[in-house]
Amino acid sequence: MLTAALSVYLFQLQGGHTSLVLLLGSALGLALYHASFGFTTAWRNFVVNGRGRAIRAQMLMLAIAVCLFFPTLAAGEFLGQNVNGFVRPLSVAVIFGAFIFGIGMQIGNGCASGNLYHAGGGQLRAIPSMIGFTAGALWATRDYEWWTTQPSLAPVALIDALGVLPAIALNLMVFATIAGLTLIIERRRHGQLERDNDDQAPPWPRRLLRGPWPFVWGAIALALLNFATLALIGRPWAVALGYPLWGAKAAEALNLGLDIDFWGYWMMPGRDTALMGGLLEDSASLMNIGVILGALIAAALAGRFSLQWKMPLRHWLGAVIGGLMLGYGATIAFGCNIGAYFGGIASGSLHGWLWLLAAFAGSFIGTWLRPLFGMTRA
């Protein structure tokens, strides 16, 4: 009801396009929740246990995405909508930002998209990480100009460098190689692959509505919904873009006396307009709100919605520190696990692969730091 009411309000206030953005975010939240499609646990489970089922699902998601994105981005428009990918420099900022983001994922126990759908599902323990994310993102906007002066190589767009079909073929080969490596490692560690327990699963129509979904369903849904985002907004799905604005609005509301208007980040085209507008006028913020609402709907449909907020003090500390690292890292690295990793690779940008390598290295270290905050490595 809340989603419908907000959608109607936005339709009356700003028109149908804004309502569709909210509904698209809600669909993403429902898919994330029903499939439990996270990145934090997936990477940690592979590092600690050698289980790669979730990583293989990510490779499937990326494979579908590049097949849809590359021809569309090469054309430059889709159904009358101009489209642009996330093609960013190969920079020290990407390496450092993604590395600390990877650490923050594990000690904060969630990534950018994960925190949103956990919060929507009633896990209020995600809130301190989101607060830290917001504060870290605002902090990064203050330092943003300095990071742009650090060593950097020009952006590399594989679509332009190789052509659409060779770029797709190369990416599919890399995805298959990564998936194949996880198969080899998992079989050597366990003798057999981890599988969904489909024998006890409800009929698929009921499962589609109430969950839980297999990872494969989640991978397909997220790839298609990200492409729908490209078609509707003109750019890929981006979660971290909303957090700096939330931080700026919070700083203004609290009257902290920060000269945010004069920070270089906010002088860039588009960001200055977002800073002057409302949160419901910002597509990234609106989609993030939609993800939370979509997860709430999914949890209600599954009969699993319950408010969970109790956790040890060290967990709270890890959530806040991890959130700060998530926000700072994502902002200087041109995105998070969604905007930089998913969106960057789907856009054919090499910075997406650089982000993945640095973030996975950070995640490896973050996994082994978890006991400092009272969490297990498994």
Give pLDDT tens digits for 130-139.
Answer: 999 999 999 9
> Is residue 145 scored above 80 in pLDDT?
yes
Question: Cis omega (within 30 of 0) on the bond before 212?
Answer: yes
pLDDT digits (tens, 9 = 90+) for 83-113: 999 999 999 999 999 999 999 999 999 888 9
CB 23 within 8 A of CB 290: yes
Q: What are phi and psi of 243, to 5 degrees?
A: -70, -40
Q: Output the pLDDT for position 321.
A: 96
Which of 7-16, 113-122, 203-212, 335-344 shows the lowest per-residue confidence on average (mean pLDDT)? Answer: 7-16
> Is residue 25 scored above 80 in pLDDT?
yes
CA atoms within 13 Å, Cβ hemisphere of 221: 21
In the chain, the percentage of residues whose pLDDT exceeds 90 is 74
- Give the mean model confidence (pLDDT) for residues 253-259: 87
Q: Output the pLDDT for position 133.
A: 97
Say which residue, 44 or 196, is predicted with more confidence: 44
- Alpha-carbon span 156 to 183, nearest angstrom: 30
Please report, as a single letter, which amino acid is at residue 76.
Answer: G
CB 171 within 8 A of CB 158: yes
In the chain, the percentage of residues whose pLDDT exceeds 70 is 95
Say which residue, 222 or 195, is predicted with more confidence: 222
Residue 231 banded pLDDT, cuts 50, 70, 90: very high
> Is residue 284 scored above 90 in pLDDT?
yes
Q: Output the pLDDT for position 49.
A: 94
- Alpha-carbon span 101 to 95, nearest angstrom: 10
Q: Output the pLDDT for position 10.
A: 65
Can you give the residue ranges of every domain in the chain?
2-373
**Mean pLDDT score of the chain, rounded to an integer?**
92
- Alpha-carbon span 333 to 213, nearest angstrom: 31
Q: Output the pLDDT for position 4.
A: 66
CB 122 within 8 A of CB 298: no
pLDDT digits (tens, 9 = 90+) for 210-225: 879 999 999 999 999 9
> Is residue 48 scored above 90 in pLDDT?
yes
- Alpha-carbon span 138 to 265, nearest angstrom: 10
- Give the mean model confidence (pLDDT) for residues 293-297: 94
- Give the mean model confidence (pLDDT) for residues 207-211: 83
Q: Output the pLDDT for position 29.
A: 95
**Neighbouring residues of 256: CB distance < 8 A, sequence distance ≥ 6:** none
- Give the mean model confidence (pLDDT) for residues 16-39: 92
Residues for the chain: how many in total?
Answer: 378
Q: Output the pLDDT for position 257.
A: 82
Residue 271 banded pLDDT, cuts 50, 70, 90: confident
Say which residue, 354 or 374, is predicted with more confidence: 354
Q: Output the pLDDT for position 191.
A: 87
Nearest Cα neighbor of 2 from 29, 35, 31 is: 29
CA 314, 319, 323, 329 torsion-angle sign: positive
> Is residue 281 scored above 70 in pLDDT?
yes
Nearest Cα neighbor of 43 from 260, 372, 357, 321 is: 357
- Give the mean model confidence (pLDDT) for residues 335-347: 97
Residue 189 vs residues 41, 48, 178, 184, 195: alpha-carbon distances, Å: 18, 11, 17, 9, 15
Q: Output the pLDDT for position 208.
A: 86
- Give the mean model confidence (pLDDT) for residues 49-71: 97
